[in-house]
A and B are shown apart, each in its own frame.
Chain A
Amino acid sequence: MSATTLSVRNLTKTIKKHKIINGISFELKAGEVFGFLGPNGAGKTTTIRMIVGLIKPTSGTIEICGYDVKKNFTKAMANLGCIVENPELYPYLSGTDNLLHFARMLPAVDNKRIAEVVDMVKLTERIDDKVKTYSLGMRQRLGIAQALLNRPKVLILDEPTNGLDPAGIREMRVFIRELAENEGLSVLVSSHLLSEIQLLCDRVAIITKGNIITVDTVESLLSSQEQAIWHLEPYLKGREILEGLTEVTTLEDGYMATPYDFTQIPMWNAALVHAGVQVLQLNRKLPVLEDLFLQLTDTGGAHIE
């Protein structure tokens, strides 16, 4: 079991008697990528801003590598790197000057380390140009370089692939995984893009209306929602039999879905065959996170892409 790098306990935030965040708790381990998933306005960004010290929580505690963000701000922040929303660096300074600016705010970051992070995010060629001439992807990379300057234990990325093209998204994903696996960083990624979280994260917290609904590994979340897909002939008779045995959802093109329960499936199959129904096709289907999300939240996924 690896060490806990970030722990959030009973975090709440009340603004004008309105509870924005409603008692959130979770933990991050070293070397894992943790996803923060929820529709817009669910409280992802507010929670992240409380973790990085921009917003003061109404109650609850946040510890980064054992240091309380409120009581021991500088020590906690020394172990943290973050990008909150877009990486808003100074457009009128060059990439180098931007990094130098933030390096000056950290203890013991020398020019060698600056060159190192520039190399890591592959910006060496353009680093002396003004940031206003950078593309969005390059700014995002410079933002990450900035966040990595102090060799953080915890990296927080709020919507890291916002506005990137597919190639950029892929590149970012590979980079984040590398950081977690090779450098042992804990990475907290927030997103409203389900496909992204599914590909990137080890564990995921689903958050809506200021509450965490569930925290689990991506695999176990998905497997609890596995389905068996049936294609039967004749259709009506087959459905009748299955409905007598379990819950059936009718799909398009003459397919139907039942829960996947490997102890029951052979018996259902036998029952069908016994009644003279031909089983043309029987598939096990892992649901995408999207279906799961819609089941868990009652927003109807209005803001989900």
Chain B
Amino acid sequence: MNKLIANEMMKLVARKRLLVIGAIVGILVILFTFAQYKEVQTQREKLGTDDWRDSLQQQIIDMQNRLGSSRISDDWREQIQVSVQQLQFYLDQDINPSEPGAVTFVRMFIENSTDLFIPLLIMIVASDLVSSEHTLGSVKLLLTRPVKRWRILLSKYMTLLLATSLIVTMTGLLSYVISGIVFGYHGWNAPIITGFVVDGGNVDTSSIRLISQWKFLLMDFGLVWFVAVVVGTLAFMLSVLIRSTAASMGVMLASLVSGAILNNMVSSWESAKYFFMVNLKLTNYLNGVAPPITGMTLLSSMSVLLIWWAAALVLSFFVFTRQDVY
């Protein structure tokens, strides 16, 4: 099995897929670092101070002003109310929610890329792991060697898991190294508050805990990796079923984008929570952001994703070991 995985890795490396992904991440991180840097600068100019307390206070006032407006939807109002209460809590505890530094940047970056950016990167690898063999015709050689089909597919899936871990790690490392040049490599021990329970427009702070940022980051990465594996597995299944890289990428892309759109409009359609694509933003549960549909919890989202994952895996193996290859 190790030899088969070595084969798959050799092909992956020869096609320079991981390099391309690294380059994409690098460029994006540079862009965001610059944007973040600019924002800090303008904030400083506007408020005339470096103190985060002042800027946080300003943020709260801004939000409250917005709440006063009558043209705001109920959903949106709830979200803002939740944010205000959380920020106020941070201010009361005298804790900076966005302690400047590379570690905070990494946390922000990874949290914002969990539902679209990282899945897209994984897709680049997952979508053609199987279908490229069909397009190339090399599947005929691969399947006529004395190795059972399920072992070949398993080696490809293991490669996907490896690549997923590599991509998530690479994203973390790159964003840390690059943003650190500007923001400094500190912030590992900054305190972060987690455990907000959002209920309607109210925030329950009774079960709140204070943890170090590095612990929080570790949890973030765990969740992001989990989401990446689920999305990768779904793309992998499509790659087995459709046998065309372009088509499977298209289907996957459409569902990811639709997820991003649905997130903003499904609050009243309750059964939509069984779609995998509205459950991708797991890190929001740690931050206490209100879920798109009430009643969704970290556990329910992870269970939904787990079921999709298992179904995709079973279907992939079932089809691949049985299908006729022409």
Interface residue count on the A side (C-beta < 8 Å): 34
Q: In the complex, what residues of A have CB within 8 A of residue B136's CB? A: 88, 90-91
Roughly how many angstroms separate A105 CA and B325 CA in the complex, as a whole number? 19
Cross-chain pairs A/B with CB under 8 angstroms, 21 sampled: A52-B144, A53-B144, A54-B140, A54-B143, A54-B324, A55-B326, A75-B146, A77-B146, A78-B146, A85-B140, A88-B141, A90-B136, A93-B14, A100-B10, A101-B10, A102-B141, A102-B145, A104-B3, A105-B4, A105-B147, A106-B146
Q: Is B44 an interface residue (CB 8 A)?
A: no
B313-326: CB near A (< 8 Å → 1, else 0) gives: 00000000010111
Let me know if A89 and B146 touch, CB within 8 A: no
Q: Residue B15 at the A interface, CB < 8 A?
A: yes
| B138 interfacial by beta-carbon distance below 8 Å | yes
Which of A75, A102, A146, A150 has the most C-beta atoms of chain B within 10 angstroms of its own C-beta?
A: A102
Does A74 lie within 8 Å of B137, measured CB to CB? no
Given contacts A54-B324, A88-B137, A104-B4, contact A93 B146 (CB under 8 A): no
Contact A89 B138 (CB under 8 A): yes
Q: Chain B residues with Cβ under 8 A from A102's Cβ? A: 141, 145
Residues in A whose Cβ lies below 8 Å from that of B143: 53-54
Tell me, yes or no, whether A97 is within 8 Å of chain B by CB: yes
**Interface 1/0s, chain A 71-82, versus B by CB < 8 A?**
001111110101
Complex Cα spacing A53 to B141, Å: 11
Residue pair A146, B4 in contact (C-beta under 8 Å): no
A175 is an interface residue with CB less than 8 A from chain B: no
Is A92 positioned at the interface, with any CB of B under 8 Å from its CB? Answer: yes
Note all chain A residues with C-beta closer than 8 A to B142. Answer: 105
For the complex of A and B, 4 pairs with smallest distance between CB atoms: A88-B137, A77-B146, A104-B3, A78-B146
- Name A's B-contacting residues (CB within 8 A): 49, 52-56, 73-78, 80, 82, 84-93, 97, 100-102, 104-107, 146, 150
Contact flag A106-B145 (CB < 8 Å), given A54-B325, A55-B324, A89-B138: yes
Chain B residues with CB under 8 Å of A88's CB are 136-138, 140-141
For B143, the closest partner residue in chain A by CB is A54
A-B contact count (CB 8 A): 81
Partner of B148 from the list A74, A78, A104, A150 (CB cut-off 8 Å) is A74
| Complex alpha-carbon distance, A77 and B140, angstroms | 13
Are A73 and B146 within 8 A (Cβ)?
yes
Tell me which of A49, A55, A77, A90 contacts B145 (CB under 8 A).
A77
Q: Which residues on the A side are within 8 Å of B137 (C-beta)? A: 85-86, 88
User: Is B7 engaged at the interface, CB distance under 8 Å to the other chain?
Assistant: yes
**Cβ of B311 under 8 Å from chain A:** no
**A78 and B148 alpha carbons, distance in the complex (Å):** 12
Report the Cα distance A225→B229, complex, angstroms: 67
Q: Please, how many angstroms separate the alpha-carbon atoms of A125 and B148 in the complex?
A: 34
A150 touching B14 in the complex, CB below 8 Å, given contacts A88-B137, A105-B7:
no
Q: Are A150 and B15 in contact (CB under 8 A)?
A: no
CB-CB < 8 A to A86: which residues of B? 137
Q: What 0/1 pattern do residues 13 to 27 of B give for CB contact below 8 A with A?
A: 011000000000000
Interface residues of B (CB under 8 A from A): 3-4, 6-7, 10-11, 14-15, 136-138, 140-148, 322, 324-326
| Shortest Cβ distance from residue A101 to the other chain B in the assembled complex, whole angstroms | 5
Report if A90-B144 is in contact (Cβ < 8 Å); known contacts: A101-B10, A104-B4: no
User: Provided the pairs A106-B146, A150-B146 are in contact, do residues A97 and B140 lie with their beta carbons within 8 angstroms?
Assistant: no
Contact B10 A49 (CB under 8 A): no
**For residue B142, which residue of chain A has the nearest CB?**
A105
B4: A residues at CB distance < 8 A? 104-105
Chain B's closest residue to A56 (CB) is B324
Q: In the complex, A101 Cα to B141 Cα: how many Å?
A: 11
B325/A104 in contact, CB under 8 A: no
User: From residue A75, how far is it (CB to closest CB) to chain B in Å?
Assistant: 7
When C-beta atoms are compared, the residue in chain B nearest to A93 turns out to be B14
B144 touching A74, Cβ below 8 Å: no
Enumerate chain A residues within 8 angstroms of B147, measured Cβ to Cβ: 74, 77, 105
- A56 contacts across to B, CB distance below 8 A: 322, 324
- Do B141 and A89 have beta carbons less than 8 Å apart? yes
Contacting residues, chain A, for B146 (C-beta < 8 A): 73-78, 105-107, 150
Which of A82, A84, A90, A105 is in CB contact (< 8 Å) with B14?
A90
Checking B6, B10, B141, B326 against A146 with a beta-carbon cut-off of 8 angstroms, the contacting residue is B141
Not counting A53-B143, A92-B15, A97-B10, a sample of 13 additional A-B residue pairs whose C-beta atoms are within 8 angstroms of each other reads A55-B324, A73-B148, A74-B146, A74-B147, A84-B144, A85-B137, A89-B138, A90-B11, A92-B14, A104-B3, A105-B3, A105-B142, A106-B145
Selected contact of A105 from candidates B140, B145, B322, B326, CB within 8 Å: B145
B6 CB contacts on chain A under 8 angstroms: 104
